[in-house]
Structure 1
Amino acid sequence: MKQLIFRSALPLLAAVWILSACEHKELCYEYPHMASVRVDFDWRDAPDASPAGMCVFFYPEDEEGRVRRYDFRGTTGGQIDIPVGRYRVLCYNNDTEAILFDGTESYDNHRAFTRDGDLFESIYGSTATHAPRADGAEGERVVISPDMMWGCTATEVDIDAPIVHANQVVTLYPHELVCTYTYEIRHVTGLENASQMCGSLSGMAPSLLLATETLDSECVTLPFAASFDDDSTVVGRFLTFGHAPANPQPHRMLLYVWMRDGSRFCYGTEGGKFDVTEQIHSAPDRRHVHLVIDGLDLPKPIGDDGNFDASADDWQEINEDIHI
């Protein structure tokens, strides 16, 4: 009788073992646990922003986890699937063209920068091989201006298992990450004799660490376009990462002018001429800086054929007193 009971129990024990094994395999299959999360962008800090899309990087605090990037069209956000865990988050618009990135595998090293450029970047077909440079900035690299950039960071972002929080939302608050500089040179005489012009600004930062919004201490020169607002005013606008507050180097703006008679002039290479350091450092809003230079006399034309050679080594440096 005992032998019969033992034999009858064998199929039951086997079934229990099989069910246990299946349950164990199911738990392993679902590892790592995933959660569905809504990413929202709140634009209260940049209400006029209009990027074509945004990208978000989730950096796991767990060293064994890998960074995950998610891209969204427009400014709204969307739904993502992501492993459960604690993250540091970094976001910015993904429609930039001039900005380059490196260190993206690390939250702390994720950096935005731009390529090397030419002083005459805005003048099609021209190169600045022999162009004058600002006094003290002759050795600075020339880099192009960045695109408009919005973004932000968030730390200690916990993504929980669905059983804990079924409807999880990560809200990010992007703001401007680059600076907008505008300038005007007022009361200019002889503009009718100018063919084209451009400018540069020395002592600026070449890159931005996104996690802390820290600027690189290297000084670079930025080229920018210039146009005639009317018959006596030169104006322009350009974007920059800004200037490192701890950097003592001055900021000098240079103006390169091509005249209709073929002559070429550069204004502000030495001394305090076109020195806009104080205007930049004392600007009420470091993200929006307006530079003003008052008074500039362009030379009278030598000829009237309207021809010029933008690559010839014939620049004349003019350092007259200009009231800022």
Structure 2
Amino acid sequence: MEYRPLDGERRKQVMKRWTVAMLLLAMLSGCRKDLCYNHEEHSMAVKTHVQAAWEQEWEREFHINWEEVWKEEWPREYDEFRPEVSEGMRAIVYTDEKYAESNLNSEGGRLAMPEGRHSLLFYNNDTEYIIFDEVTSLATASATTRTRTRANFAELHENERTVTPPDMLYGAYVAEYEAERTWDPVALPIEMRPLVYSYLIRYRFASGQQYVAQARGALAGIADKVYLKDGHTDGVSSTLLFDCKVDELGCTALVQSFGAPDYSYTDGYTTDQTNKQYTLSLEVMLRNGKTLSYTFDISQMMRIQPRGGVIQVTDIVVSDEDGQEGAGAFDPDVDGWEDEIDIPLPLN
């Protein structure tokens, strides 16, 4: 074969073909890499992306609109009591008789689920005292709180469990969601609504407040649990045990709870509340070490505030005889004043 050197024109054509070949090779290599590492992103799949908004309400209007009638002389603003947005969410996907759980951040994110029709349940997953129960079934999924005991506590309502106030709990529910395979992400907006509400409890003294060193209270007749699907409560009640802050105005506590028993957001009270009783108590430790207890019937105030609000009792008296009894050298930070909270430990 006779060797013929390339002339200028043929050399340009060869170099052009070589450049095109190298570019094609690079493109093919890039495509193989994308397909290897981002196959699902660039293919049809269920791409549901939850977009969460949070409703930060601490009480719900029933007969009183506290946000409108908030008194200026109260030392704290109404908005100070609004709960914080939670750090993350638990999502449960219910499909026929099966369910699957996953975690998302507070803004939401991609929710893994198969193609088909599902029901979706969301709640925040950063609680400490909440106990979730029967979440395998959407109809029975509920939340309660831990048992709390107090030495020498006189039972306010017979056979009620004494508990710690629950953490802040939010929830959202999607009754029916059709998950389809798509090329592009599909947004799913949800609103995380409160399932726990707060009662601002204020104890005010007519006299003798200067003798009070510590205080704690109990609220009996409150709902024992809440159902995650729609936020309703059943007829089971419990007694919340809580601590109070003592200041120049009296004793104050912000107590979170599941609200009134037998209450539905859509239907209101589901049973007759005429004879429903709520009892509030206050126990104070005086600076001389003596303890005094007071009990108040707050049924009327609670019936008109089934989901948070303000409870105030007044005209509490500590007599000079009680306040000045003894030598006055007692240390109010004594053992036995703290409550015990039942926190089950894992066995393995």
Calculate the TM-score normalised by the size of structure 1.
0.73
1:17-32 mapped onto 2 (5 Å cutoff): none
1:148 is aligned to: 168
Q: Which amino acid counterpart does residue 297 of structure 2 have in structure 1?
A: D
SS in 1 for 2:241: strand
2:277 is equivalent to residue 266 of structure 1: no
Q: Which amino acid counterpart does residue 168 of structure 1 have in structure 2?
A: V
1:279 is aligned to: 301
1:88 pairs with one of 119, 123, 137: 119
Q: Which amino acid counterpart does residue 209 of structure 1 have in structure 2?
A: Y
1:206 is aligned to: 224
Q: Which amino acid counterpart does residue 275 of structure 1 have in structure 2?
A: D
| 8 A Cα contact 1:225 1:237, kept in partner | no
2:324 is equivalent to residue 305 of structure 1: no
Q: Which amino acid counterpart does residue 278 of structure 2 have in structure 1?
A: H
2:200 is equivalent to residue 178 of structure 1: no
1:55 is aligned to: 90
CA deviation profile, 1:249-304 (whole Å, cap 9, x unmatched): 31110001111222211111xxxxx1111111113xx4331001121111322011
Distance in 2 separating the partners of 1:49 and 1:88: 27
Calculate the TM-score normalised by the size of structure 2.
0.68
1:216, distance to aligned residue in structure 2 (A): 2.9
2:77 is equivalent to residue 42 of structure 1: no
1:132, distance to aligned residue in structure 2 (A): 2.2
1:133 is aligned to: 155
2:104 is equivalent to residue 72 of structure 1: yes
Distance in 2 separating the partners of 1:189 and 1:277: 25
| 8 A Cα contact 2:145 2:225, kept in partner | yes
1:23 is aligned to: none
1:42, distance to aligned residue in structure 2 (A): 2.5
SS in 1 for 2:136: coil
1:43, distance to aligned residue in structure 2 (A): 3.0
Alignment CA distance shift 1:80-1:218 (3 Å): closer
1:228 pairs with one of 246, 249, 252: 246
Alignment CA distance shift 1:250-1:89 (3 Å): same
| 8 A Cα contact 1:111 1:208, kept in partner | yes
SS in 1 for 2:315: strand
SS in 2 for 1:242: coil
| 8 A Cα contact 2:83 2:168, kept in partner | no
Alignment CA distance shift 1:213-1:254 (3 Å): same
Distance in 2 separating the partners of 1:288 and 1:204: 11
SS in 2 for 1:280: helix
RMSD: 2.4
**Displaced runs of 4 or more, over 6 A:** none
Distance in 2 separating the partners of 1:310 and 1:263: 14
Calculate percent identity across the aligned residue pairs. 25
Aligned length: 256
CA deviation profile, 1:180-213 (whole Å, cap 9, x unmatched): 0111122442222122110001111111111132
1:310, distance to aligned residue in structure 2 (A): 6.3
1:243 pairs with one of 234, 253, 260: 260
1:271 is aligned to: none
| 8 A Cα contact 2:91 2:103, kept in partner | yes
SS in 2 for 1:295: strand
Runs of 5+ in structure 1 lacking a partner? 1-29, 120-127, 269-273, 313-324
Alignment CA distance shift 1:214-1:182 (3 Å): same
